[in-house]
Structure 1
Amino acid sequence: MGGPRRVPLRTIDVARESGYSVQQVRDLERLGVIPPAARSANGYRSYTPVHVRALGAYRGLAEAVGPVAARKLLLRLRTETLTEAASAISAVHVRLAREREETLRAQEALAVIEAETHRPYGTGQEADTMTITELAGALGVRSSALRFWEQEGLVAPERVTSLRARRYGPSAVGAARVVVALRGAGYGIPEVREIMRSSRRHDGSGEARRILRQRLDRIAARTVALLRAGADLAAVVTSAEEPAPQGR
């Protein structure tokens, strides 16, 4: 995307510079993605380079977190302090890093599932187990989610106490990590169930590996999109600290 050529900019100028259509520019202004344009005496919109920057920021954010979240974040960036805005952008990077880490752990967990599948029952160590609260905390999910996954046949905990308190061994912990990654990739419960069943069969984890590799590739693409939007995001954040231009 080229840099803005002149000020003030017409709608068609902003469209050309941003890569959006004229109608998309108007729609994104209406949705609050870019600040309201100033209006000339004859009612025509008058834009500035900041509007082009905001559209560039939106493009990258929409790729990184989705269009709805991107619109909400841009609205925040224009109204918050510099410190708050920088923190909000950092949170997006952290989110992507966490998704990548979860997926890498899920890949490692597949190997654990395969090993546990062929290991005689009862060879695991008590020290390797986790309670439902511990596992939920490690995965960043609610305990109720683990119970639901159990009902759906996705994760099979061990029950070792007279009160039937759940305890999760290495295989169950691994399965839960894979479920988290698959759900994060957008797969529904029926699809996840079939993938998990395949993973427990001999040499049946190929589909899960393929999905997790695709998820890592997608996270990488989203991260690059966010990095490319960095300069535009900085322009949006710093422009929020400047006095608003007066309409003519």
Structure 2
Amino acid sequence: MNPQRSLRPVDLARPHGLSTQAVRNYEDQGILPPAGRTTTGYRAYTQAHRLALDAFLALVPGCGQARAGSVLRAVHRGDLDAAFALLDEAHAELAEDRRTFRRVHAALDGLHASGDEPGPALFVGEVAGLLGVVPATLRTWERAGIVRPQRDRATGYRLYREADVRDARMAEQLRRGGYGLARIAELTEQVRSAGGVEPLRETLDGWRASLTRRGRALVSGAAALDALLSS
């Protein structure tokens, strides 16, 4: 394609299934560089605009729309260091999400491997000894909503049933993995809502697939951005 050939908004929009208004909006937002004008006042885009739109749309799945837009704006103002720093952030976030996934996966595998059989309820000291923590830690987790032991009606003592021990065991493993209490509480609630650990496996499979898609999208986005920079 002749890089100087004038392109209409529809020429940019149609390959991506966009409206011509979306293309004009992207220009107004600085995602595309300013377009030239024909003698009759219509926008006249070029191959550079097409490549910029390709790069933006390719970056969105891996970077998110806001960050992808910031990357393109940095490129258009000639600040490649800023553009690459934004991409570095996206890769760093993906790497951290992968580490998080591995910790959760390992924690759930540990629960599965533990194979606790249904049995009598345990007191807080017994659960603490089982996990190698102090009772005060379990009470902290209870205040955070991570564990929800029942109370013995006669004595008022905390009673940990099988599901409570499971939640406490997951909390202990995730704490060793660096998780904060708020995040552990969210994950524990997911396990409760799913009805146990096994139903959550499908969620983990979806999470893994999402991470793979983001990684692939970052590669595709970088390739499209390189095509723009090389034009």
TM-score bin, normalised by smaller chain:
0.5 to 0.7
State the structure with more CA Rg.
2
C-alpha offsets along residues 169-208 of structure 1, whole Å, 9 cap, x if unaligned?
964243466988xx7xxxx95xx55423367x7xx20232
Letter matched to residue 101 of structure 1: R
RMSD: 3.8
Match of 1:55 in 2: 53
| C-alpha distance 100-112 of structure 1, shift in aligned 2 (>3 A) | same
Cα deviation for residue 217 of structure 1 reads 0.4
Once residues 170 and 4 of structure 1 are traced to their aligned partners in structure 2, the CA distance between those partners, rounded to angstroms, is 64
Letter matched to residue 197 of structure 1: R
Identity %: 30
Cα deviation for residue 40 of structure 1 reads 2.5
Q: Name the TM-score, length of structure 2 as normaliser.
A: 0.66
C-alpha offsets along residues 218-239 of structure 1, whole Å, 9 cap, x if unaligned?
1211221221222321244567
**8 Å CA contact retained: 1:77, 1:236:** no
* Aligned with residue 84 of structure 1, among 82, 85, 89: 82
* Aligned with residue 40 of structure 1, among 32, 38, 41: 38
Match of 2:161 in 1: none
Cα deviation for residue 103 of structure 1 reads 0.8
Q: Name the TM-score, length of structure 1 as normaliser.
A: 0.63
C-alpha offsets along residues 125-161 of structure 1, whole Å, 9 cap, x if unaligned?
46xx9xx9xxxxxxxxxxxxxx8x86451368xxxxx
Letter matched to residue 213 of structure 1: D
* Aligned with residue 24 of structure 1, among 11, 22, 25: 22
Letter matched to residue 215 of structure 2: T
Secondary structure of the 2:103 match is: helix
Match of 2:158 in 1: none
Whichever structure has more helix as a proportion of its residues is 2
**8 Å CA contact retained: 2:59, 2:217:** yes
Secondary structure of the 1:68 match is: helix
Match of 2:200 in 1: 208
Once residues 214 and 76 of structure 1 are traced to their aligned partners in structure 2, the CA distance between those partners, rounded to angstroms, is 33
Alignment of 1:136-215 (within 5 A): 151-154=143-146, 171-175=170-174, 192-197=187-192, 204-215=196-207
Secondary structure of the 2:83 match is: helix
Match of 2:69 in 1: 71
C-alpha offsets along residues 77-114 of structure 1, whole Å, 9 cap, x if unaligned?
33353333223223222222221221122101112345
Cα deviation for residue 18 of structure 1 reads 4.3
Aligned pairs, how many? 196
- Gaps spanning 5+ residues in structure 2: where? 118-125, 149-167
Once residues 106 and 205 of structure 1 are traced to their aligned partners in structure 2, the CA distance between those partners, rounded to angstroms, is 11
Match of 1:242 in 2: none
* Aligned with residue 116 of structure 2, among 112, 115, 118: 118
| C-alpha distance 53-61 of structure 1, shift in aligned 2 (>3 A) | same
